[in-house]
Amino acid sequence: MSEATPLTQLNEDEQLFRSTVREFAQQAIGPLARQMDEEQHFASGLLPQLFGLGLMGIEVPVEHGGSGGTFFEAVLAVEEISAVDPAVGVLVDVQNTLCINALLRWGTVEQQKKYLARLATDTVGAYALSEAGSGSDAFALQTRAEERDGHYVLNGQKLWITNAKEAGLFIVFATLDPSAGYKGITAFLVEKDTPGFSVGKKEDKLGIRASSTCELILEDCHVPKENVLGEPGKGYKIAIETLNEGRIGIGAQMLGLAQGAWNYAAKYAQERKQFGKPIAEFQAVQFSLAEMATEIEATRLLVYNAARLKDAKKNYIREAAMAKYFASHVAERVASQAVEIYGGYGFVKDYPVEKFYRDAKIGKIYEGTSNMQLATIGKLVLSGVK
Protein backbone atom coordinates (compact mmCIF):
# COMPACT_ATOMS: atom_id res chain seq x y z
CA MET A 1 0.00 0.00 0.00
CA SER A 2 1.23 3.51 -0.77
CA GLU A 3 1.68 6.05 1.98
CA ALA A 4 -1.35 7.95 0.66
CA THR A 5 -3.65 4.96 1.02
CA PRO A 6 -5.70 5.01 4.24
CA LEU A 7 -4.82 2.12 6.53
CA THR A 8 -8.47 1.15 6.80
CA GLN A 9 -8.85 0.80 3.04
CA LEU A 10 -8.89 -2.83 1.96
CA ASN A 11 -8.05 -4.36 -1.39
CA GLU A 12 -10.66 -6.46 -3.21
CA ASP A 13 -9.52 -9.77 -1.74
CA GLU A 14 -9.56 -8.35 1.79
CA GLN A 15 -13.01 -6.83 1.26
CA LEU A 16 -14.39 -10.15 0.05
CA PHE A 17 -12.76 -12.00 2.94
CA ARG A 18 -14.15 -9.55 5.48
CA SER A 19 -17.67 -9.68 4.08
CA THR A 20 -17.58 -13.50 4.05
CA VAL A 21 -16.48 -13.66 7.69
CA ARG A 22 -19.02 -11.01 8.70
CA GLU A 23 -21.89 -12.89 7.08
CA PHE A 24 -20.79 -16.15 8.68
CA ALA A 25 -20.46 -14.54 12.11
CA GLN A 26 -23.88 -12.93 11.96
CA GLN A 27 -25.68 -16.00 10.63
CA ALA A 28 -23.87 -18.88 12.34
CA ILE A 29 -22.49 -17.40 15.56
CA GLY A 30 -24.99 -14.67 16.39
CA PRO A 31 -27.95 -16.94 17.15
CA LEU A 32 -25.81 -19.01 19.54
CA ALA A 33 -23.99 -16.22 21.40
CA ARG A 34 -26.39 -15.76 24.30
CA GLN A 35 -26.89 -19.48 24.90
CA MET A 36 -23.15 -20.16 24.82
CA ASP A 37 -22.59 -17.35 27.32
CA GLU A 38 -25.27 -18.60 29.69
CA GLU A 39 -24.14 -22.23 29.49
CA GLN A 40 -20.42 -21.34 29.51
CA HIS A 41 -20.00 -23.80 26.68
CA PHE A 42 -18.62 -23.47 23.16
CA ALA A 43 -21.08 -24.92 20.67
CA SER A 44 -19.29 -27.92 19.20
CA GLY A 45 -21.06 -27.50 15.88
CA LEU A 46 -19.27 -24.21 15.32
CA LEU A 47 -15.80 -25.72 15.21
CA PRO A 48 -16.27 -27.70 11.96
CA GLN A 49 -17.70 -24.56 10.38
CA LEU A 50 -14.74 -22.45 11.48
CA PHE A 51 -12.34 -25.04 10.08
CA GLY A 52 -14.37 -25.48 6.92
CA LEU A 53 -14.30 -21.77 6.20
CA GLY A 54 -10.52 -21.75 6.64
CA LEU A 55 -10.60 -19.47 9.66
CA MET A 56 -8.55 -21.75 11.90
CA GLY A 57 -5.53 -21.84 9.61
CA ILE A 58 -5.46 -18.48 7.86
CA GLU A 59 -1.67 -18.18 7.57
CA VAL A 60 -0.99 -21.89 7.20
CA PRO A 61 0.51 -22.50 3.74
CA VAL A 62 -1.75 -24.15 1.17
CA GLU A 63 0.57 -27.18 0.98
CA HIS A 64 -0.23 -27.86 4.65
CA GLY A 65 -3.98 -27.55 4.12
CA GLY A 66 -4.29 -23.91 5.17
CA SER A 67 -5.60 -20.78 3.49
CA GLY A 68 -2.19 -19.31 2.69
CA GLY A 69 -3.43 -15.92 3.85
CA THR A 70 -1.85 -12.99 5.66
CA PHE A 71 -1.61 -11.94 9.28
CA PHE A 72 -3.76 -8.95 8.36
CA GLU A 73 -6.52 -11.29 7.21
CA ALA A 74 -6.32 -13.12 10.53
CA VAL A 75 -6.80 -9.76 12.25
CA LEU A 76 -9.82 -9.01 10.05
CA ALA A 77 -11.35 -12.38 10.95
CA VAL A 78 -10.88 -11.81 14.68
CA GLU A 79 -12.37 -8.32 14.39
CA GLU A 80 -15.48 -9.41 12.49
CA ILE A 81 -16.17 -12.45 14.66
CA SER A 82 -15.67 -10.43 17.86
CA ALA A 83 -18.23 -7.88 16.71
CA VAL A 84 -20.74 -10.73 17.12
CA ASP A 85 -19.17 -12.76 19.96
CA PRO A 86 -15.74 -11.93 21.43
CA ALA A 87 -15.62 -15.41 23.03
CA VAL A 88 -15.47 -17.01 19.59
CA GLY A 89 -13.13 -14.25 18.45
CA VAL A 90 -10.51 -15.17 21.04
CA LEU A 91 -10.60 -18.85 20.08
CA VAL A 92 -9.80 -17.91 16.48
CA ASP A 93 -7.25 -15.37 17.69
CA VAL A 94 -5.22 -17.76 19.87
CA GLN A 95 -5.26 -20.36 17.09
CA ASN A 96 -3.89 -18.00 14.46
CA THR A 97 -1.79 -15.34 16.16
CA LEU A 98 -0.19 -17.49 18.87
CA CYS A 99 -0.15 -21.20 18.03
CA ILE A 100 0.17 -21.13 14.26
CA ASN A 101 2.53 -18.16 14.26
CA ALA A 102 4.81 -19.91 16.75
CA LEU A 103 4.97 -23.01 14.55
CA LEU A 104 5.50 -21.00 11.37
CA ARG A 105 8.43 -19.14 12.91
CA TRP A 106 10.02 -21.74 15.17
CA GLY A 107 8.82 -25.15 14.05
CA THR A 108 11.08 -27.62 12.26
CA VAL A 109 10.09 -28.88 8.82
CA GLU A 110 8.86 -32.10 10.44
CA GLN A 111 6.87 -30.26 13.11
CA GLN A 112 5.25 -27.99 10.56
CA LYS A 113 4.35 -30.89 8.31
CA LYS A 114 2.85 -32.82 11.22
CA TYR A 115 1.02 -30.10 13.12
CA LEU A 116 0.15 -27.25 10.75
CA ALA A 117 -2.09 -29.51 8.67
CA ARG A 118 -3.94 -30.57 11.82
CA LEU A 119 -4.30 -27.01 13.09
CA ALA A 120 -5.70 -25.96 9.73
CA THR A 121 -8.21 -28.78 9.41
CA ASP A 122 -9.45 -30.22 12.70
CA THR A 123 -7.27 -29.44 15.75
CA VAL A 124 -7.58 -26.48 18.10
CA GLY A 125 -4.38 -25.10 19.60
CA ALA A 126 -3.68 -23.60 23.03
CA TYR A 127 -0.80 -21.57 24.44
CA ALA A 128 0.27 -22.54 27.96
CA LEU A 129 2.56 -19.97 29.58
CA SER A 130 0.78 -18.57 32.67
CA GLU A 131 0.98 -20.06 36.15
CA ALA A 132 -0.27 -19.11 39.61
CA GLY A 133 2.96 -17.24 40.37
CA SER A 134 3.83 -16.04 36.89
CA GLY A 135 1.45 -13.61 35.26
CA SER A 136 3.02 -10.33 34.22
CA ASP A 137 6.29 -11.82 35.48
CA ALA A 138 5.87 -14.53 32.86
CA PHE A 139 9.29 -16.06 33.31
CA ALA A 140 8.89 -16.83 37.01
CA LEU A 141 7.26 -20.09 35.97
CA GLN A 142 7.75 -23.20 38.08
CA THR A 143 6.82 -25.98 35.64
CA ARG A 144 9.89 -28.16 35.31
CA ALA A 145 11.24 -30.14 32.37
CA GLU A 146 13.84 -32.84 32.95
CA GLU A 147 15.75 -34.60 30.19
CA ARG A 148 15.57 -38.34 30.71
CA ASP A 149 16.36 -41.31 28.44
CA GLY A 150 15.97 -39.46 25.14
CA HIS A 151 12.84 -37.51 26.06
CA TYR A 152 11.66 -34.84 28.46
CA VAL A 153 9.51 -35.26 31.56
CA LEU A 154 7.32 -32.30 32.48
CA ASN A 155 5.84 -31.59 35.90
CA GLY A 156 3.81 -28.60 36.97
CA GLN A 157 0.56 -26.72 36.63
CA LYS A 158 -0.62 -24.08 34.18
CA LEU A 159 -3.50 -21.68 34.81
CA TRP A 160 -5.88 -19.55 32.73
CA ILE A 161 -5.20 -21.40 29.48
CA THR A 162 -7.53 -20.27 26.70
CA ASN A 163 -9.00 -22.97 24.42
CA ALA A 164 -7.88 -25.67 26.88
CA LYS A 165 -11.12 -27.65 26.75
CA GLU A 166 -11.28 -27.73 22.95
CA ALA A 167 -7.57 -27.97 22.18
CA GLY A 168 -5.76 -31.02 20.89
CA LEU A 169 -2.31 -29.41 20.80
CA PHE A 170 -0.67 -27.28 23.48
CA ILE A 171 2.46 -25.14 23.38
CA VAL A 172 3.70 -25.61 26.94
CA PHE A 173 6.51 -23.57 28.49
CA ALA A 174 8.68 -25.17 31.16
CA THR A 175 12.11 -24.53 32.63
CA LEU A 176 15.00 -26.95 32.25
CA ASP A 177 17.21 -25.12 34.73
CA PRO A 178 15.68 -22.71 37.28
CA SER A 179 19.14 -21.38 38.16
CA ALA A 180 19.52 -20.14 34.57
CA GLY A 181 16.49 -17.85 34.92
CA TYR A 182 14.72 -17.06 31.68
CA LYS A 183 17.52 -18.79 29.73
CA GLY A 184 16.33 -22.14 31.03
CA ILE A 185 12.81 -21.83 29.62
CA THR A 186 11.88 -24.19 26.79
CA ALA A 187 8.75 -24.57 24.67
CA PHE A 188 7.24 -28.01 24.06
CA LEU A 189 4.54 -29.27 21.70
CA VAL A 190 2.28 -31.43 23.84
CA GLU A 191 -0.65 -33.39 22.45
CA LYS A 192 -3.77 -33.71 24.58
CA ASP A 193 -3.60 -37.51 24.85
CA THR A 194 0.03 -37.50 26.06
CA PRO A 195 0.32 -39.68 29.21
CA GLY A 196 0.69 -37.51 32.30
CA PHE A 197 -1.12 -34.56 30.73
CA SER A 198 -4.64 -33.55 31.76
CA VAL A 199 -7.00 -30.58 31.59
CA GLY A 200 -8.24 -29.56 35.02
CA LYS A 201 -10.71 -27.06 36.42
CA LYS A 202 -12.59 -24.79 34.02
CA GLU A 203 -12.82 -21.25 35.34
CA ASP A 204 -16.18 -19.54 35.96
CA LYS A 205 -15.53 -16.16 34.37
CA LEU A 206 -17.07 -12.68 34.26
CA GLY A 207 -16.98 -12.46 30.47
CA ILE A 208 -16.11 -14.36 27.27
CA ARG A 209 -17.77 -17.27 29.05
CA ALA A 210 -18.10 -19.51 25.99
CA SER A 211 -14.31 -19.47 25.69
CA SER A 212 -12.84 -22.20 27.87
CA THR A 213 -10.19 -21.12 30.37
CA CYS A 214 -8.75 -24.05 32.31
CA GLU A 215 -5.84 -25.27 34.36
CA LEU A 216 -3.45 -27.83 32.92
CA ILE A 217 -1.85 -30.53 35.05
CA LEU A 218 1.43 -32.18 34.08
CA GLU A 219 2.44 -35.18 36.17
CA ASP A 220 5.45 -37.01 34.73
CA CYS A 221 4.29 -35.97 31.29
CA HIS A 222 6.63 -37.59 28.78
CA VAL A 223 7.38 -35.48 25.69
CA PRO A 224 9.70 -36.70 22.90
CA LYS A 225 12.78 -34.62 22.10
CA GLU A 226 11.49 -33.93 18.61
CA ASN A 227 8.61 -31.99 20.20
CA VAL A 228 10.84 -29.23 21.51
CA LEU A 229 9.77 -26.05 19.71
CA GLY A 230 12.80 -24.01 18.71
CA GLU A 231 15.78 -24.90 20.87
CA PRO A 232 16.16 -25.86 24.53
CA GLY A 233 16.53 -22.66 26.55
CA LYS A 234 15.00 -20.46 23.81
CA GLY A 235 11.43 -20.60 25.10
CA TYR A 236 11.62 -17.05 26.44
CA LYS A 237 12.36 -15.73 22.97
CA ILE A 238 9.47 -17.68 21.46
CA ALA A 239 7.12 -16.39 24.18
CA ILE A 240 8.12 -12.74 23.78
CA GLU A 241 7.97 -12.68 20.01
CA THR A 242 4.72 -14.64 19.80
CA LEU A 243 2.98 -12.48 22.40
CA ASN A 244 3.98 -9.35 20.50
CA GLU A 245 2.01 -10.74 17.57
CA GLY A 246 -0.80 -11.92 19.80
CA ARG A 247 -1.33 -8.43 21.20
CA ILE A 248 -2.38 -7.24 17.78
CA GLY A 249 -4.93 -10.04 17.78
CA ILE A 250 -6.31 -8.95 21.15
CA GLY A 251 -6.45 -5.41 19.78
CA ALA A 252 -8.56 -6.76 16.91
CA GLN A 253 -10.82 -8.61 19.35
CA MET A 254 -11.42 -5.44 21.37
CA LEU A 255 -11.91 -3.42 18.18
CA GLY A 256 -14.59 -5.83 17.00
CA LEU A 257 -16.23 -5.82 20.42
CA ALA A 258 -16.40 -2.01 20.42
CA GLN A 259 -17.82 -1.95 16.91
CA GLY A 260 -20.44 -4.55 17.80
CA ALA A 261 -21.53 -2.61 20.90
CA TRP A 262 -21.69 0.63 18.89
CA ASN A 263 -23.79 -0.99 16.17
CA TYR A 264 -26.40 -2.06 18.69
CA ALA A 265 -26.35 1.30 20.50
CA ALA A 266 -26.74 3.31 17.30
CA LYS A 267 -29.64 1.16 16.10
CA TYR A 268 -31.38 1.29 19.46
CA ALA A 269 -30.98 5.08 19.67
CA GLN A 270 -32.92 5.44 16.44
CA GLU A 271 -35.69 3.10 17.63
CA ARG A 272 -36.15 4.18 21.24
CA LYS A 273 -38.47 7.17 21.63
CA GLN A 274 -38.66 9.59 24.54
CA PHE A 275 -40.51 12.92 24.66
CA GLY A 276 -42.06 12.08 21.32
CA LYS A 277 -38.91 11.49 19.25
CA PRO A 278 -36.03 9.00 18.85
CA ILE A 279 -33.31 9.53 21.44
CA ALA A 280 -30.81 9.71 18.57
CA GLU A 281 -32.17 13.20 17.88
CA PHE A 282 -31.01 14.45 21.26
CA GLN A 283 -27.62 16.14 21.11
CA ALA A 284 -26.26 14.36 24.18
CA VAL A 285 -26.88 10.95 22.60
CA GLN A 286 -25.47 12.12 19.26
CA PHE A 287 -22.32 13.37 20.99
CA SER A 288 -21.94 10.07 22.83
CA LEU A 289 -22.27 8.04 19.63
CA ALA A 290 -19.93 10.42 17.80
CA GLU A 291 -17.28 10.10 20.48
CA MET A 292 -17.60 6.32 20.45
CA ALA A 293 -17.33 6.18 16.64
CA THR A 294 -14.23 8.39 16.67
CA GLU A 295 -12.47 6.22 19.24
CA ILE A 296 -13.36 3.08 17.31
CA GLU A 297 -11.89 4.52 14.11
CA ALA A 298 -8.73 5.54 15.95
CA THR A 299 -8.49 1.99 17.32
CA ARG A 300 -8.92 0.53 13.85
CA LEU A 301 -6.05 2.67 12.55
CA LEU A 302 -3.76 1.49 15.36
CA VAL A 303 -4.66 -2.19 14.96
CA TYR A 304 -4.46 -2.19 11.17
CA ASN A 305 -1.18 -0.29 11.20
CA ALA A 306 0.42 -2.82 13.56
CA ALA A 307 -0.86 -5.72 11.44
CA ARG A 308 0.37 -4.15 8.20
CA LEU A 309 3.80 -3.57 9.73
CA LYS A 310 3.95 -7.19 10.85
CA ASP A 311 3.11 -8.46 7.35
CA ALA A 312 5.70 -6.09 5.88
CA LYS A 313 8.32 -7.61 8.24
CA LYS A 314 8.96 -4.23 9.84
CA ASN A 315 9.37 -3.51 13.54
CA TYR A 316 5.93 -3.43 15.13
CA ILE A 317 6.52 -4.01 18.86
CA ARG A 318 5.66 -0.46 19.92
CA GLU A 319 2.66 -0.33 17.60
CA ALA A 320 1.37 -3.70 18.85
CA ALA A 321 1.55 -2.53 22.47
CA MET A 322 -0.20 0.74 21.59
CA ALA A 323 -2.92 -1.09 19.67
CA LYS A 324 -3.59 -3.55 22.47
CA TYR A 325 -3.53 -0.87 25.19
CA PHE A 326 -5.76 1.60 23.38
CA ALA A 327 -8.19 -0.98 21.99
CA SER A 328 -8.85 -2.52 25.40
CA HIS A 329 -9.61 0.86 26.94
CA VAL A 330 -11.83 1.93 24.05
CA ALA A 331 -13.74 -1.37 24.16
CA GLU A 332 -14.53 -0.92 27.83
CA ARG A 333 -15.59 2.72 27.39
CA VAL A 334 -17.71 2.08 24.31
CA ALA A 335 -19.43 -0.96 25.85
CA SER A 336 -20.15 1.07 28.99
CA GLN A 337 -21.65 3.94 26.98
CA ALA A 338 -23.70 1.47 24.95
CA VAL A 339 -25.22 0.15 28.19
CA GLU A 340 -26.09 3.73 29.19
CA ILE A 341 -27.73 4.47 25.84
CA TYR A 342 -29.92 1.40 26.36
CA GLY A 343 -30.76 2.70 29.84
CA GLY A 344 -32.44 0.14 32.08
CA TYR A 345 -32.61 -2.34 29.22
CA GLY A 346 -28.83 -2.23 28.93
CA PHE A 347 -28.49 -3.63 32.43
CA VAL A 348 -30.40 -6.83 31.76
CA LYS A 349 -29.33 -9.94 29.89
CA ASP A 350 -32.18 -9.77 27.39
CA TYR A 351 -30.16 -7.24 25.40
CA PRO A 352 -26.67 -7.82 23.94
CA VAL A 353 -24.77 -4.78 25.23
CA GLU A 354 -24.64 -6.18 28.77
CA LYS A 355 -22.58 -9.10 27.44
CA PHE A 356 -20.24 -6.82 25.48
CA TYR A 357 -19.60 -4.86 28.69
CA ARG A 358 -18.66 -8.01 30.61
CA ASP A 359 -16.55 -9.32 27.73
CA ALA A 360 -14.60 -6.07 27.46
CA LYS A 361 -12.92 -6.26 30.86
CA ILE A 362 -10.51 -9.06 29.96
CA GLY A 363 -8.92 -6.90 27.27
CA LYS A 364 -6.96 -4.96 29.88
CA ILE A 365 -5.70 -8.13 31.51
CA TYR A 366 -4.69 -10.99 29.23
CA GLU A 367 -1.69 -11.16 26.89
CA GLY A 368 -0.09 -8.33 28.84
CA THR A 369 -1.92 -6.02 31.24
CA SER A 370 -2.43 -2.34 30.42
CA ASN A 371 0.37 -1.44 32.82
CA MET A 372 2.75 -3.80 31.03
CA GLN A 373 1.79 -2.26 27.69
CA LEU A 374 2.48 1.21 29.06
CA ALA A 375 5.86 0.04 30.34
CA THR A 376 6.74 -1.26 26.86
CA ILE A 377 5.46 1.86 25.11
CA GLY A 378 7.23 4.18 27.54
CA LYS A 379 10.54 2.39 27.14
CA LEU A 380 10.35 2.42 23.34
CA VAL A 381 9.15 5.98 22.85
CA LEU A 382 11.70 7.36 25.29
CA SER A 383 14.57 5.42 23.71
CA GLY A 384 14.56 7.83 20.77
CA VAL A 385 14.49 11.00 22.88
CA LYS A 386 17.81 12.82 23.17
Element (H, E) at 307: helix 283-311
Give residue-wise pLDDT tens across range 230-268. 999 999 999 999 999 999 999 999 999 999 999 999 999
- Is 4 a domain residue? no
My answer on whether 285 and 373 are in the same domain is: yes
- Check which CATH number belongs to the domain holding 200 and give it: 2.40.110.10
My answer on whether 241 and 328 are in the same domain is: yes
Taking a C-beta distance cutoff of 8 angstroms, is the pair 302, 321 a contact?
no
* CA distances (Å), origin 289, targets 193, 269, 333: 50, 9, 12
Give residue-wise pLDDT tens across range 59-107. 999 999 999 999 999 999 999 999 999 999 999 999 999 999 999 999 9
Residue at which a domain ends, from 84, 103, 123: 123
List the domain range (segments joined by +) for residue 151: 127-233
Nearest CA to 248 among 359, 325, 334? 325
- Is 165 a domain residue? yes
The answer, yes or no, to whether residue 121 has pLDDT greater than 70, is: yes
- Is 205 a domain residue? yes
3-state DSSP call for residue 9? coil
pLDDT confidence bin for 386, thresholds 50/70/90? low
Q: What percent of the chain is modeled with pLDDT above 90?
A: 93
My answer on whether 246 and 350 are in the same domain is: yes
The answer, yes or no, to whether residue 1 has pLDDT greater than 60, is: no
The mean per-residue pLDDT over the stretch 352-363 comes to 98
- Is 1 a domain residue? no
Residue at which a domain ends, from 233, 249, 284: 233
Catalytically annotated residues:
367
- Check which CATH number belongs to the domain holding 269 and give it: 1.20.140.10
My answer on whether 352 and 251 are in the same domain is: yes
Tell me how far apart the alpha carbons of residues 159 and 214 are, in angstroms, rounded to a whole number. Answer: 6
Q: What is the DSSP string of 213-276?
A: EEEEEEEEEEEEGGGEES-TT-HHHHHHHHHHHHHHHHHHHHHHHHHHHHHHHHHHHHH-EETT
- Is 3 a domain residue? no
Residue at which a domain ends, from 108, 123, 138: 123
Taking a C-beta distance cutoff of 8 angstroms, is the pair 171, 132 a contact?
no
Give residue-wise pLDDT tens across range 334-343. 999 999 999 9
Task: Give the per-residue pLDDT at 384.
Answer: 78
The answer, yes or no, to whether residue 198 has pLDDT greater than 60, is: yes
Task: Give the per-residue pLDDT at 4.
Answer: 47
Give residue-wise pLDDT tens across range 10-50. 999 999 999 999 999 999 999 999 999 999 999 999 999 99
My answer on whether 212 and 285 are in the same domain is: no
* CA distances (Å), origin 171, targets 4, 185, 191, 369: 40, 13, 9, 21
Task: Give the per-residue pLDDT at 140.
Answer: 85
The answer, yes or no, to whether residue 137 has pLDDT greater than 90, is: no
My answer on whether 165 and 272 are in the same domain is: no
Structural domains of the chain, count: 3
